[in-house]
Amino acid sequence: MECKQWLKWLTLAMICPLIAGAPSSMSVRDSSCPKENLTITGGTFVLSKNYSHGSLLTYICPKGYYPTVHSLLCIDEHWISKTGKKKTPECKKITCPNPRVFENGEVIPYKVKYYINDTTTYSCHSDYTFRGSAVRVCKPNGKWNGSTPVCGRDSDHCPDPGVPPGSSRTGNMFNIDDKVTYSCGSPLTLIGSKVRVCQDGGQWSGTEPQCYADFTYDTPEEASEAFSSSLKSNLAVETEEQQGKKITLDQGGKLDIYIAVDASDSIEEKDFYNAKTTIKLLLEKISYYPVSPNYEILMFATDVTPIIKMNNFKRQRPTLSDIFKELDDFTYDKKGDKTGTNIAKVYTDIEESMKIEEFNNATAFRETQHIVILFSDGHANMGGSPKPKVDQIKRHVTKNDPNLEKKLDLYVFGVGDVNQEDVNGLVSQRDQEKYFFKLQDLTEVQQMFEDMIDESTSVGSCGIVWEGLQNKRRAFPWLAKINIARAKGSNCMGSLVTSSYILTAAHCFKDGDSADKITVQLEKDKSYKVKKYVIHPSYNLTAKQDKGIQEYYEFDVALIQLDKPVEISSSLRPICIPCTKETNGALKLSESEGKCKKHEEILMGNELVEAAFTSDMESDHSPKNIKNIIFKLGKNRDACVEDAKKAQGIKVEDAREAVTENFLCSGGIEPKTDDVACKGESGGASYVVKKGRVIQVGIISWGVKDICRGSKKFTSDAVSRDYHSNLFSEKIRSFLKEHLENDRIGNPLTFL
């Protein structure tokens, strides 16, 4: 057979030494792939680079159907399937595994095949008791909802473990040490435990097996629930009552997490970027827990590229943002053309690192919890089978001591067109926990991590944004637009600060505006009703008219309470407010460090502070423009404040009469040209980004002049300054505290 036909997804180096190392010469000559015989019955396809070398062809089927071939890659004039199997592409109807394996009862209806939305009901013959879900519906991901129905007798030591749909079981005795063995009907793959043993405690070892078809996936919700409950046992705080006070034990140094991400499938730059975003999301996610794990992060294809190694991590103790920077610096170009998938090498490298750790301190190594998380489609095409390497890691950590078994957690996230059979052998099979997750693509993995945000952990989830994803709103999930219906309608911007409060400017409202005239837009196609609004008690527009200030904007702050709290999601999430416990979490400050002064030091500690605010919204509810500014503090502040005298309606000797300490100042052209606010942007958040989190420090209040009028330009001239209500102002803080800490509808904030 011709060498090329053996090519499995770019296995150049191993199998075809003649052309290995010659990718550049290949791409020079015309090596386009045939255009014939690519169509899929009942579906369509898209091409990443037409018919040229390196193009990825992806098949697409209508809802309720799946493609028998996921994708093809054009390599040197040939379309190659990742699985290596030659199949005629076809869109087939998604089915759920056969539920008729149900024992000692009845399944209605009794059919040959069960398709999406088919409902089944289960009941037991007399003398048997029912457990599980009596009504199950076939879901679009090829799984039945609810849990496996079982008709059992309660006379045995362990409950009847049932027969999950699609499987068959041998073993009908359920007393101590009795064994049951499962298999899945072809072509389904068994995920979970093949063999389960009835244990002393009356529980079965391992996890209930599930039969997955090629097209079966976990939904992000399913995966997030299972992964967080599994992860929680390691990441949750161990607390100890000490003098009536809960002490958080620092687990630093005792939790080593190895993360390996397969970049070989990143045919396109955006997939590569997505893979890095996924790592960031996972790290971010773990950082909400009160543990400080050590990390090793690897990206791999033909070779393994370390982002950070375990021993370096322990020596350098990088912050999360240091790691993010390393990730950012690892660019698509550096990945090269090496698109093999060497999973064995990854596990080998991880074991090497473990050896170093053990060598450094064997006692500490034994006490450490080791977590290995692999993201891959599992189609290893070089370096041999990864299974023996994983077994080596198992032996290395557990030393064949069953008591040490729980010190190792091996997870795999199968992404895309997954080789599930191989992957199931790479994960831990511990009692009642799921270690293998199969998701459709990286976006679903990200969705899953986002779903994992656990409101019960003390640390809130304010200021988390995700940039670079298709949904631009996710980068500004707190952005709000406020409409007030009156003769001369009015628009302002605002920011979601809790699940039921919007922070904005007081001057957006006029006497007589009632709550029912106000609507708030946050997400697309949705507007929110308002319960009430409150203005800062010291706001008084006319307070200084006798001092030559026609309109006086000190304490230009208001809060709008929504009728109902919003449901927090990736495109709807509050911005952080300084001097709160939630922001302590965002800034990764411990309880003792986390003081309001510390927040000010971190966020506003320089004489020039880079910040930003946003313009009005686009139709997708992301901002039209992001405006970059520099707050002038310290010795730079006076000149900025002084220009207030140039505003219309202000005739004062001392500009500080108009711009008190309760304002922040931006604008002007020094040290660089700032952007300025335009009409309709009042009330918007001015914010600083720290440690990857967005923290609001000001509210857009007023400006020296309206630069934007009549032009699309919004860059400052020498004297066009903007003044922002300063959230570090004592009187503004106490106003926020009064209302946000006593939020009875949504999640209240805790102020420091």
Q: Binding to ligand NAG by residue 145, rule CB under 6 A?
A: yes
Q: Is 86 in the site for ligand NAG (CB under 6 A)?
A: no
Angle at 302 between CA 298 and CA 304, to 5 degrees: 20
Q: How far is the CB of 98 from ligand NAG (least distance, A)?
A: 18
DSSP 8-class letter at 516: G
Around 399, how many Cα atoms within 13 Å sit in the side-chain half-sphere? Answer: 8
- Residue carrying the six token digits 């319960």: 531
Q: Are 505 and 541 in contact (CB under 8 A)?
A: no
Residue 150 has which token pair? 């079982």
Q: Does 16 bind ligand NAG (CB under 6 A)?
A: no
Our finding on whether 252 is near ligand NAG (CB under 6 A) is no
Structure tokens at 198: 């009835």
Catalytic residue among 81, 490, 570, 682: 682
State in angstroms the smallest separation of the CB of 240 from ligand NAG. 18
Task: Select which of 349, 556, 674, 722 is catalytic.
Answer: 556
By CB under 6 A, the residues from 563 to 622 that bind ligand NAG are none
Applying CB under 6 A, among 49, 157, 394, 598 the residue interacting with ligand NAG is 49
The reply to whether 689 sits near ligand NAG by the rule CB under 6 A is no
The binder of ligand NAG chosen from 1, 18, 29, 36 (CB under 6 A)? 36
Going from the C-alpha of 590 to that of each of 172, 516, 585, 727, the distances in angstroms are: 54, 42, 8, 22
Instruction: In angstroms, give the least distance from the CB of 615 to ligand NAG.
Output: 32
Burial class (CB in 10 A: 0-12, 13-18, 19+), 671: exposed
Active site residue 536: no
Pairing of strands 189-191, 210-212: antiparallel
Q: How many alpha carbons lie under 13 Å from residue 69 in its C-beta half-sphere?
A: 25
Cα 290 to the center of its chain, rounded Å = 18
Q: Pick the closer one to ligand NAG by CB: 21 or 64.
A: 64
d(Cα 289, Cα 458) in Å, to the nearest integer? 9
User: Total number of residues binding ligand NAG (CB under 6 A)?
Assistant: 22
Q: Kindly state the tokens that stand for 343.
A: 């999973």
Q: From 293, 275, 285, 448, select the one nearest 371 (Cα to Cα).
A: 293
What DSSP string runs through 547-586? Answer: GTBSS--TT--EEEEESSPPPPBTTB-PPB-SSBHHHHHH
User: Which token pair is 283?
Assistant: 């790290």
- Contacting residue, 17, 64, 336, 649, with ligand NAG by CB under 6 A: 64
Q: Rank residues 16 and 137 by Cβ distance to ligand NAG and give the closer one.
A: 137
Stretch that binds ligand NAG, among 267-275, 536-544, 623-631, 634-642 (CB under 6 A): 536-544
- Identify which of residues 137 and 689 has a Cβ nearer to ligand NAG in the complex: 137
Stretch that binds ligand NAG, among 29-37, 419-427, 642-650, 733-741 (CB under 6 A): 29-37
Q: Among 16, 19, 237, 543, which residue sits at the site for ligand NAG (rule: CB under 6 A)?
A: 543
Which residue lies nearer to ligand NAG by CB, 611 or 659?
659
Q: Does residue 185 belong to the site contacting ligand NAG (CB under 6 A)?
A: no
Is residue 32 part of the contact set for ligand NAG (CB under 6 A)?
no
Q: Does 175 bind ligand NAG (CB under 6 A)?
A: no
Quick one: which of 286, 201, 231, 187 has its CA closest to 434?
Answer: 231
Residues in the chain: 752
Question: Given the complex with ligand NAG, which of 388 and 649 has the nearer CB atom?
Answer: 649
| Residue 233 burial (C-beta neighbours within 10 Å; 0-12, 13-18, 19+) | exposed
Give the whole-angstrom CA distance, residue 705 versus residue 722: 9
The reply on whether position 50 binds ligand NAG by CB under 6 A is: yes
- Our finding on whether 37 is near ligand NAG (CB under 6 A) is yes
Binds ligand NAG (CB under 6 A): choice among 205, 540, 660, 750: 540
Q: Does 146 bind ligand NAG (CB under 6 A)?
A: yes
Among 428, 392, 389, residue whose Cα is nearest residue 411? 428
User: Contact, 408 vs 428, CB < 8 A?
Assistant: yes
* CB nearer to ligand NAG: pick between 41 and 361: 361
**Where do the DSSP E strands lie in 146-288?**
150-152, 167-170, 179-184, 189-191, 195-197, 210-212, 239-242, 245-248, 255-262
Question: Quick check: 137 binds ligand NAG (CB under 6 A)?
Answer: yes
Region 624-643 residues binding ligand NAG, contact defined as CB under 6 A: none
Among the options 53, 379, 507, 599, which is catalytic? 507
Helical packing angle, 387-398 and 343-360, nearest 10°: 20
> Does the protein bind ligand NAG through residue 34 (CB under 6 A)?
yes
> Does residue 461 have an active-site annotation?
no
Q: Is 556 considered catalytic here?
A: yes
Binding marks (x or -) toward ligand NAG, 658..687, rule CB under 6 A? ------------------------------
Give the up-direction half-sphere exposure of residue 629: CA atoms within 13 A in the CB hemisphere: 35
Distance in Å, CB of 139 to ligand NAG, minimum = 8
Binds ligand NAG (CB under 6 A): choice among 24, 363, 456, 592: 363
Among residues 92, 148, 91, 145, the alpha carbon closest in space to that of 118 is found at 145
* 24 near ligand NAG, judged by CB under 6 A: no
Site membership for ligand NAG, residue 364 (CB under 6 A):
yes
With beta carbons less than 8 A apart as the criterion, state whether 297 and 307 touch.
yes
Closer Cβ to ligand NAG, 63 or 334, answer by number? 63
Dihedral sign for Cα atoms in the order 332, 336, 337, 341: negative
Among 361, 527, 590, 734, binds ligand NAG (CB under 6 A): 361
Q: Does 491 bind ligand NAG (CB under 6 A)?
A: no
Cβ 701 vs Cβ 724: under 8 Å: yes
Is residue 63 near ligand NAG by the rule CB under 6 A? yes
List of residues contacting ligand NAG (CB under 6 A): 34, 36-37, 49-50, 63-64, 116-117, 133, 135-137, 145-146, 361, 363-364, 367, 540, 542-543
Q: Could you give the residue numbers annotated as active site?
A: 507, 556, 682
